[in-house]
Structure 1
Amino acid sequence: MEKAFSTAIRRLPSTQIYLVQMNFSTSIPRRDQLILEGLNEEVQGILPTLYIFVFIVGLVANGWGLKSLLHNWKKLGDVNVFVFNLGLADMLYLLTLPFLVVYYVKENTWIFGDKFCKVTRFCFNLNLYCSIGFLTCISVYRYLAIVHPMRVMGRLTVTHSVIISVLVWILVGVQSLPDMFFPKRFGKQAKCYDSTSLEHMEDYLKYSLGRTLTGFCIPLLITLGCYGHMICVLCSRTTIDKVLKQRSLRFLLILILLFSVCYTPHHVFKNLSLYSRVLVKQNICKDWDSAVFNAHQISRGLVSLNSALNPLVYLHVQEDISAQFRQLLQRVEVIFHRMFESKSFSEAVAQTDEDDDV
């Protein structure tokens, strides 16, 4: 009987095994482990690959952008202060990605200690909500400069931007700090959960919903309000510079990309996943939990892309960086063109030698 049952279990998809096993265990530790590890093998392989890509692209792009901003430090305007802090938030998160890659490569085995696990998760939340906060600040500044230019002329200084940036860091830090008091591993298991153990899931869901409201929904509404009114003004006024219109629309496209691909899916599926685990704890909707959990894991990979996409903001706000980027692309194009010509010439010479031998 046991042999037949084991054979049947092995034939089930990996995302369903933990649901079957839960019916034979009533202890919270076992259920906790099974729910939080019920990850599809395909999704399990995507995350480390995506993290490696984000780490390389994000590190190069943000490093280059920050270097350009520091090079023109004396010309750093009020909006560029927010862009600089956006880059710092990205770099803080990018430095934790190699540890997460090791975690997933070792099949969800965390070898760096419980305290560093909490620091890693804290850095993720700090990056996520600071990014949203600084993008919102840039949107508000753009709105004021276009819709109310005379009212804010000379009133918005770099000092104001620095003070606002410090406030964003403090508010996001205070908002993210409670997350560190929730258990990120269970017992002696070498895990590093991005939420918490099943025992504390109800409390964590309430905390997550509150953080979603203050850190995502309110900034999103502010951004939508600013750009909704801004578009109306840009379309109705003929006196606004054409270049300014184009830059505003480009930045709007960047925001749409970030919010639709990175931020919105993460918050939707994270809270759905937490809610589904609360239901599973009550033996309700177990099949639904499997699908939502895997969708949440995919959204975690997508939200990490914000650190690779945020450097697009550098190109929008800093004309010098845009020019340098175009020059860099031209150099890369020339290098690849020369490499292709050299390869074609070598192949032609080799073919000629073969013909002569014949």
Structure 2
Amino acid sequence: MSLNNTTDCFIDHDLDQFVFPLVYITVIVISIPANSLSLYVSYKHIKRGNELGIYLFNLSVADLLYTLTLPLWVDYSLQHDNWKHGHHLCKLSSFLMYTNFYTSAAFLCCISIDRYLAVVYPLRFYVLRKVKTAIYASGLIWAIELSGNIIILWHEETHSDHSDHVLCYDKHPLEKWKAMFNCGRFFIGFLLPAMLMVFCCQRIYKAIKSNIATQDHDKIRIKKLLLSIVVAFLICFTPYHVVMLIRSITEPQMCEVAKRLFVPYKITMALSSFNCIADTFLYSFVSESARTDMLNAVLIFKKKPKQSSGLKDVNATTVEKEG
């Protein structure tokens, strides 16, 4: 295994053995079936010409790719942060983790902007809400995020500490190049999408509150969608990015700071993995047809043809293009 110089700090890795496996196994068990189901539902929406299906499909793909790397992180944690899978898999796992973080943020932002245009300007900017536009936007997001995170594949990400553990993307204290890179991630990958989401959600809320033409049940559904987007983003990503920014500003070349921030850094990283589960709940509030499709798929999976066929009849009367 290729390793670079030994890290400078002695870090107690016992926390990882208890916290991470439980969190990651929970995410794996729920995320794989939930996001697989989400792929099916979003595909049906794409076939109906609903641009939201494009963003939700890509969101599920990003979540599944990250979830498939979690067994490696479970083993890493059970081994007291001792990576045994080679430096190439370390790079790939780290690359997919951060790609998931920022593609998820970008696609949640796209959903917010799409709903903003649909509610606040229903008769304008229609071209921005076409399926083709959503495909182009999604392709651009993947291109930007993949190229932005490719620096992880260039640098050596396995390090040996004083206890001869092989650490994966966990050098303490933080290296200067990584601290600068993290600051860029915070402002461009986290803060900018967060500001756009809050702006869009606030404008949408004001628009539906004052619009007497919108039915009450539609207002409630839209409010729940907005709330789920904001809550999923803020709970899953904000704690980690706040700690990451503090680390990046204060930690480089300072071992004592690295020791103090290790526990909150690890806990918030574990928390961020729950975005793979939280994203799937968006389907419940996108539209009536999305909710029905999700329920139909679950019933088909359970092999209950009578209930499933009955729900299909209901779905046939409720299918509509959202927007």
Structure 1 residues 113-170: Cα deviation after superposition (integer angstroms, max 9, x where no partner): 1011010000001111000000000000000000001113466311111000000101
Q: Out of 34, 41, 47, which is 1:74 matched to?
A: 47
Code of the aligned partner of 1:269: V
Is the 2:46–2:54 Cα contact (8 Å) retained in structure 1?
A: no
Structure 1 segments of 4 or more deviating over 6 A? 327-332
Q: How does 1:237-276 map to 2 (within 5 A)?
A: 237-276=211-250
SS at match of 2:124: helix
Distance in 2, Cα, partners of 1:259 & 1:135? 8
Q: Give the 3 Å change call, closer, same or farther, for CA 86–60 of structure 1 in structure 2.
A: same
Is the 1:182–1:196 Cα contact (8 Å) retained in structure 2?
A: no
SS at match of 1:232: helix
Distance in 1, Cα, partners of 2:273 & 2:211? 38
SS at match of 1:267: helix
Q: Out of 110, 114, 124, which is 1:151 matched to?
A: 124
- Deviation, structure 1 residue 277: 2.9
Match of 2:166 in 1: 191
Structure 1 residues 85-109: Cα deviation after superposition (integer angstroms, max 9, x where no partner): 0000001001000111111112212
Distance in 1, Cα, partners of 2:48 & 2:299? 26
Percent sequence identity over matched residues? 24
Is the 1:175–1:211 Cα contact (8 Å) retained in structure 2?
A: no
- Deviation, structure 1 residue 112: 1.2
Q: Give the 3 Å change call, closer, same or farther, for CA 272–155 of structure 1 in structure 2.
A: closer
Is the 1:273–1:293 Cα contact (8 Å) retained in structure 2?
A: no
Match of 1:212 in 2: 186
Q: Give the 3 Å change call, closer, same or farther, for CA 58–159 of structure 1 in structure 2.
A: same
Code of the aligned partner of 2:259: S
Code of the aligned partner of 1:129: Y
Is the 2:34–2:280 Cα contact (8 Å) retained in structure 1?
A: yes
Match of 1:203 in 2: 177
Q: CA RMSD in A?
A: 2.6
Structure showing the higher helix proportion among its residues:
1
Q: How does 1:27-46 map to 2 (within 5 A)?
A: 29=6, 31-32=8-9, 34=10, 37-39=11-13, 41-46=14-19
Q: Say yes or no: does 1:295 pair with 2:233.
A: no
TM-score scaled by length of structure 2: 0.83
Q: Out of 185, 197, 206, which is 1:232 matched to?
A: 206
Match of 2:315 in 1: none
What runs of 5+ residues in structure 1 fail to find an aligned partner? 1-27, 336-358
241-250 or 217-226, larger mean C-alpha shift: 241-250
Larger RCO (CA within 8 A; separation ≥ 6): 2
Q: Give the 3 Å change call, closer, same or farther, for CA 117–321 of structure 1 in structure 2.
A: same
Match of 1:319 in 2: 288
Q: How does 1:1-358 map to 2 (within 5 A)?
A: 29=6, 31-32=8-9, 34=10, 37-39=11-13, 41-71=14-44, 73-153=46-126, 156-186=129-159, 191-196=166-171, 198=173, 201-278=175-252, 280-281=254-255, 286=256, 288-325=257-294
- Deviation, structure 1 residue 253: 1.5
254-263 or 108-117, larger mean C-alpha shift: 254-263
Q: Give the 3 Å change call, closer, same or farther, for CA 154–122 of structure 1 in structure 2.
A: closer
Q: Give the 3 Å change call, closer, same or farther, for CA 30–60 of structure 1 in structure 2.
A: closer
Number of aligned residue pairs: give it.
297
Code of the aligned partner of 1:257: V
Is the 2:160–2:166 Cα contact (8 Å) retained in structure 1?
A: no
TM-score scaled by length of structure 1: 0.76
Distance in 2, Cα, partners of 1:251 & 1:194? 35
From the CA coordinates, give the structure whose radius of gyration is larger.
1
SS at match of 1:150: coil
Distance in 2, Cα, partners of 1:208 & 1:236? 41
Q: Give the 3 Å change call, closer, same or farther, for CA 137–177 of structure 1 in structure 2.
A: same
- Deviation, structure 1 residue 191: 2.5
Distance in 1, Cα, partners of 2:192 & 2:130? 25
Distance in 2, Cα, partners of 1:30 & 1:279? 11
- Deviation, structure 1 residue 73: 4.6
